[in-house]
Amino acid sequence: MSAVRPETRLGLHVLAGAAMLGVVGDLLLRAMPLGLNAFLCATTLVALAVWLVRRHRVPVSPDTPWLAAAALLVASNFVARDSAALHALDAIGLVIILAVAMLSLRGGTLRGRQAWDYARTALDAAATACIGVFPLIGRDIAWSEVSGGARLGRARGVALGAVVAFPLLIVFGTLFASADVVFRDLVTQAFAVDFGALLSHTVLIAVFATLAAGYFRGALLRRVSSAGEGSGFSVGIVPVATALGLVDALFLVFVVIQLRYLFGGAQLIATATGLTYAEYARRGFFELVTATALTLPLLVTADCVLRNESRERQRTFRHLAVVLLLLLVVVMASALERMRLYVDAFGLSEIRLYSTAVMLYLAGVCAWFAWTTLRGERRRFAFGALVQGFAVLAGLHLVNPDAFIVRTNLARPAAGRPFDGRYAASLGADAVPLLLDALPRLAPPEQCRVAHGLVVRRTALEHDDWRTWNFARTTARRLLHDQGERLRTVACPASRP
């Protein structure tokens, strides 16, 4: 192996590690919902990356250990909480960490890069994960360097012998099976293969291995250029200022309406629209979240195309951007006020909670944009926005969304919209302790709905295996087992809800 180039040796190790990850992924991720299996897969991925980097002395940036720790921390959330929506955000968080980790594994630093650098890295990571295995096998690994090795030669000889022997085994096996019933039964039992399951395992292993091999090929066999300002492309201040000026005008009209109606009281809304205060609030929140989410990319893009303009023209852009952000503050305040009224009238739900979290994140990122980019420090913006996103995700885990939803809805006045027991029982295992504690205080119909939902949940939890182990589900299963008799004795109306 002394004649083997370092690139070839690294490529071979990447292929072997990817094959191992494919098998691990197939064994662990077949069990749902995600729990311990997701954490173990992430740990295996990080461990393989650490081994490859140290074994081949790959130069990486100082950010790499922090990203590895962040990946394990996010993956550990699958073991703590049992919210499907929260797990989806955790999965997105892991994907983002893997995307930016490719930049770090190539030796590039995360700080001081613009938003476009992160977006380009994410696109590159996705592309190389999907197709990177093909250049890895076809170009990066010089097979001629290892083809003369004794081990590979023996492996090729064994493979050739197996190919030659296969038709002979079929012929002789068929003859022996026809001649002896016992031998035929033995062969039938030995080769009673579920080809559907075999195909499913093969496909999953191939998919996981291909993605892992492509990712590590892009991360470890390619280098990255230093952070820079990028190309000199610019469309000029006139079209940008015109577009932002028109958007500012539109926002101003909307803000005036908001100041008059939403903050003007229920009587004014009822007279002007025929809607109740809560109905008026309900109709617009998600649209305002979308408008807020679109505003930031607009400003980032405008700043990007004007980065090579003169200071006077950039100052014009910043004035227009400040006006838009100030108007956006009123829009976000309107959205949050609508959500408050919405929850007061109809209660809290997953979509309402997570949408509010997104709105708060957007508010923080907009403030950070104003503090950095509009003050001429655009290099600090992208990394800070990324950190804020993971801070919001950590905050959601601390809040414990499913338990928070149940606690909030239980605390609402009884005179308002009644507690929705069916919806509460459909939430994750984190809500189970609160529901069991509140069960005696609920109205009889809601007691029945909650008890029925918890009995169904207990049945589902009893089918968990070690791969889906989760602290919240384990706690819920124990509590439901202890309270099983109590749940069965809950009196229900004549007709099941």
- Read off the pLDDT of residues 178-197 as tens digits, 9 standing for 90 and up: 776 667 777 777 766 666 77
The answer to whether the peptide bond before residue 33 is cis (omega within 30 degrees of 0) is yes
Write out the DSSP string of 314-355.
HHHHHHHHHHHHHHHHHHHHHHHHHHHHHHHHH---HHHHHH
The model's confidence at residue 388, banded by pLDDT at 50, 70 and 90, is very high
- Read off the pLDDT of residues 288-300 as tens digits, 9 standing for 90 and up: 888 889 899 999 8
Q: Looking at residue 229, what is its pLDDT?
A: 46
Mean pLDDT across the chain: 84
Higher pLDDT, 132 or 489: 132
148 pLDDT above the threshold of 60: no
Higher pLDDT, 234 or 317: 317
Q: Which of 211, 240, 258 shows the shortest CA–CA distance to 26?
A: 211
Q: Looking at residue 227, what is its pLDDT?
A: 47
Per residue, the 3-state secondary structure of 363-394, as one string, reads: HHHHHHHHHHHHHCCHHHHHHHHHHHHHHHHH
List phi, psi (to 5°) of 221.
-105, 5
State the angle between helix axes of 381-399 and 350-372 in degrees (0 to 180), rounded to the nearest 10: 150
Q: Looking at residue 111, what is its pLDDT?
A: 85
Q: Which stretch of DSSP H or E encloses residue 146?
A: none
Q: Looking at residue 341, what is its pLDDT?
A: 78
Span of 14-23, 273-282, 298-307, 334-343 with lowest mean pLDDT = 273-282
State both tokens at 208: 């996981």
1 pLDDT above the threshold of 60: no
238 pLDDT above the threshold of 60: yes
- Read off the pLDDT of residues 349-379 as tens digits, 9 standing for 90 and up: 999 899 999 999 999 999 999 999 998 888 8
Query: How confident is the model over 130-141, as a mean pLDDT?
Result: 87
- Read off the pLDDT of residues 392-445 as tens digits, 9 standing for 90 and up: 999 999 999 999 999 999 988 765 678 888 999 999 999 999 999 999 888 888
